[in-house]
């Protein structure tokens, strides 16, 4: 089963191909994604790697966390699930108690 990893403290010059190549040394990389700012188009300095198995993911964490890459010391750990917002509640509108 695929396992998603968070990769932080990336250099703003790091590319998705470069990230993929780094992690490929630890197993099959299912996907590599760097997060970019919508307004500026610049890297936010973090991204996600999806490894094909838990064993490969654990090897990748052990082999890359704290390692220097593109001049920065990487922070790599298991990605946490993003909490879903409850889009049905909140946000302004008419208040009948006024």
Nearest 5°: the CA angle 25, 30, 36 is 95
- What are the extents of the domains in the chain? 3-78
CATH number attached to the domain at 3-78: 3.30.70.330
pLDDT tens, residue order, the chain (98 aa): 889 999 999 999 999 999 999 999 999 999 999 999 999 999 999 999 999 999 999 999 999 999 999 999 999 999 987 776 655 555 555 555 54
Cα dist from 78 to 54, 58, 61, whole Å: 10, 9, 8
| φ, ψ dihedrals at 44, nearest 5° | -90, 0
DSSP string, 2-45: -EEEEEES--TT--HHHHHHHHHTTS-EEEEEEEE-TTT--EEE
């Amino acid at each position: 089963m695929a396992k998603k990893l968070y990769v932080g403290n990336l250099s703003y010059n790091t590319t998705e191909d470069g990230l993929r190549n780094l992690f490929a040394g630890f197993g099959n990389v299912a996907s590599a994604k760097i997060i970019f700012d919508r307004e500026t188009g610049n890297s936010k300095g973090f991204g996600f790697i999806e490894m094909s198995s838990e064993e490969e993911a654990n090897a990748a964490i052990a082999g890359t966390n704290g390692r220097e890459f593109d001049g920065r010391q990487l922070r790599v750990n298991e990605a946490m699930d993003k909490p879903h917002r409850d889009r049905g509640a909140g946000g302004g509108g008419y208040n009948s108690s006024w």
